[in-house]
Amino acid sequence: MLTQTLRALERDGLVNRTVYPTVPPRVEYGLTELGVEAGRLTSAIGAWAVEHAQQVLAARQDFDDQVATAPEPVR
């Protein structure tokens, strides 16, 4: 699974793969400029999620409370 993921990232241009002709074979992966940029964006989304986690949890609780106390529809 790891190999498939790394190959997909390589295909997308996010990582470079370097193979060294040694015994046993050695392979190194590194981020491309595109990969570094994607990492920055991902980090920004993660930071936003951490900063707003309590608001999201409060909104979920408010929603669940409203659904739990909503009257049943008349049939």
Which residues neighbour 39 within 8 Å (Cβ) at sequence distance 6 or greater?
31
We report the CATH number of the domain holding residue 65 as 1.10.10.10
Provide the domain limits for residue 56. Answer: 2-69
CA distance 50 to 69: 30
Structural domain contains residue 35: yes
What pLDDT, on a 0 to 100 scale, did the predictor assign at position 49?
A: 98
Structural domain contains residue 56: yes
Which DSSP string corresponds to 1-54?
-HHHHHHHHHHTTSEEEEEE--SS-EEEEEE-HHHHHHHHHHHHHHHHHHHHHH
What are 25-62's pLDDT values in tens digits? 999 999 999 999 999 999 999 999 999 999 999 999 99
Question: What is the mean predicted confidence (pLDDT) over 15-31?
Answer: 96
**Domain tally, the chain:** 1
Res 70 pLDDT > 90: no
Res 75 pLDDT > 90: no
Structural domain contains residue 9: yes
State the pTM of this model.
Answer: 0.69
Structural domain contains residue 24: yes
Structural domain contains residue 62: yes
In single-letter form, the type of residue at position 43 comes to S
